[in-house]
Amino acid sequence: MSTVRAVGWTVVALVLMALAVPWFLWDTSAIAAGLPVWLWWHIGWMALASVVFAIFARTDWGLGIEEVN
């Protein structure tokens, strides 16, 4: 079970990292509420990453750090 959870958290971390920088929005000059859309993406993505990390810290902190006998 812990292996499945570790793989799941690894996938979540990779997706968070891959989409943290909105390369696909850098060519747009759209503005929302006075800031570029790509900056809003980054702000929202960092908020999402914070929520995901809080969930990880409360549920699976120490996953993969087991003592080897």
- pLDDT recorded at residue 54: 92
Alpha carbons 15 and 11: distance in angstroms, whole number: 6
Enumerate the domain spans of the chain. 2-59
CA–CA separation, 11 vs 30, rounded Å?
31
Q: Which residue has the tokens 């499945």?
A: 4
Whole-number pLDDT of residue 68 = 64
pLDDT at position 2 is 75
Mind listing the pLDDT tens digit of every residue in the chain (69 residues)?
Answer: 578 888 888 899 999 998 888 888 778 888 889 888 888 898 999 999 999 999 988 887 776 666 666
Q: What is the pLDDT of residue 67?
A: 63
